[in-house]
Amino acid sequence: MTTIEAFDAVDLIHTKRDRGELSEPQINWLIDAYTRGYVGDEQMAAMTMAIFLNGMTRSEIRSLTMAMLASGERMSFAGLGKPTTDKHSTGGVGDKITLPLMPLVAVFGAAVPQLSGRGLGHTGGTLDKLESIPGWRANLTNAEMLKQLQEIGGVVCAAGSGLAPADGKLYALRDITGTVEAIPLIASSIMSKKIAEGTSALVLDVKFGSGAFLKDIERSRELARTMVELGEDAGVATSALLTNMNVPLGFAIGNANEVRESVEVLAGGGPSDVVELTVALAEEMLALAGITGVDVSAALTDGRAMDKWRAVIRAQGGDPDAALPVARETHVVLAERSGVLVEQQALPFGVGAWRLGAGRARKQDPVQHAAGIDLHAKPGDTVVQGQPLFTLSADEPERFARALEAVAGAWRIGDQGEPVLNGGPLIAERVGCR
């Protein structure tokens, strides 16, 4: 017996193409029909382009998010007996914040279920970084994850394929149709997965600037507001911090070197910008979880966060004391003159690290865990001629030429008193319904 479909994909495409509004039943049908293969990629490609060009209303975005959420399973942490709080970053260059943040928040009695992903292009993936640690494994069963949250309070692992499978199909399509930057599609993609993960509180780290997914702060603010509204509508306490990605975060860009830098932060040291953002996000996550009046910074200096880190790494098969991979080849770039480093653009350094092997061009590509870039100076620092500015690391020396092409012109040394181009404060503002 032939199934009679409730709607026709072409009619819905016409509606969106002509700047009309799709109803909740229409969106529910569209996502379901696409997930089961009735609506083809070519039709959904036309729809995503219509959304990219004409946008969606808040009601449409909410319906799209909930339809993608309904396409798969939904986790629950209700039986843990402790508040759950999570963080999501829109990605950037040198963004290793999840690594020190998860154990830091877990110190204070919250459960932190960080279901993370892998990198693609110039933005690094948390799982790729952690897989630099010998023995560490990303894939856990739901039972293993719940046990670790109960006993230790934190976990970083791969999200199961059962969470919002419609998003997996749609994301892959957006990637090849020039519609990745559509705010309704970004927001519904992120939030359908985060709501499906079952956390009761969520803090969004929404980047802006040269190394960010969205360069313009106004568009980043729009994305933040859209996602906060989606979270609140779904009963998840949600807020966002708009953070600066004009300059790489910290000094390490890659995988193993970012793990080393994260461990420095957990040991009470590390770059000031990484520490500042880690503490700010931890305080926000704890506040949304109802945990206040705690000294977050103290847990970095007294060893409590490091103890949690070591426990989490061991629980997932890793050896926190093992040596991390080191690249076979390095190339050091020296300052050509004395003065002040006044510019250091994030995106070219991210692309450079990617070309060295730290990232992947396709999802199935492997990464070289030892590849990357280590910066030796940040904007505002005084440098002298011949001083190392940054070091490129790779297993294959033939990668250096293309990486150097990527970073050419991405930094500049000026005179004392010349304005430093760093795009302003690290944390620009908070966006929240509360």
Hey, what's the torsion of the CAs at 125, 130, 136, 142, to 10 degrees?
-50
Measured CA to CA, the distance from residue 193 to residue 190 in angstroms comes to 6
Looking only at Cα atoms, what is the longest distance across the chain? 79
DSSP, collapsed to helix, strand or coil, labels residue 365 as coil
Catalytic residue among 89, 188, 189, 220: 189
Catalytic residue among 62, 87, 88, 221: 88
CA-nearest of 198, 249, 218 to 89 is: 249
Amino acid occupying residue 16? K
Q: Is 205 a catalytic residue?
A: no
Joined tokens for residue 271: 């770059």
Measured CA to CA, the distance from residue 366 to residue 96 in angstroms comes to 19
- Alpha carbon distances (Å) from 201 to 90, 344, 353: 17, 35, 33
Joined tokens for residue 28: 């529910």
**C-alpha of 82 from chain center:** 25
Q: Is 210 a catalytic residue?
A: no
Catalytic residue among 128, 167, 205, 374: 167
Catalytic residue among 87, 122, 193, 360: 193
Q: Is 88 a catalytic residue?
A: yes
Q: Is 395 a catalytic residue?
A: no
Q: Is 62 a catalytic residue?
A: no
Measured CA to CA, the distance from residue 130 to residue 125 in angstroms comes to 9
Joined tokens for residue 216: 């313009």
Measured CA to CA, the distance from residue 375 to residue 344 in angstroms comes to 10
Hey, what's the torsion of the CAs at 324, 325, 326, 329, to 10 degrees?
-170
Amino acid occupying residue 427? I
Backbone angles phi, psi at 301, to 5 degrees: -90, -20
Catalytic residue among 87, 174, 194, 310: 174
Query: Distance from first CA to last CA of the chain, Å, rounded?
Result: 52
Active site residues: 88, 167, 174, 189, 193
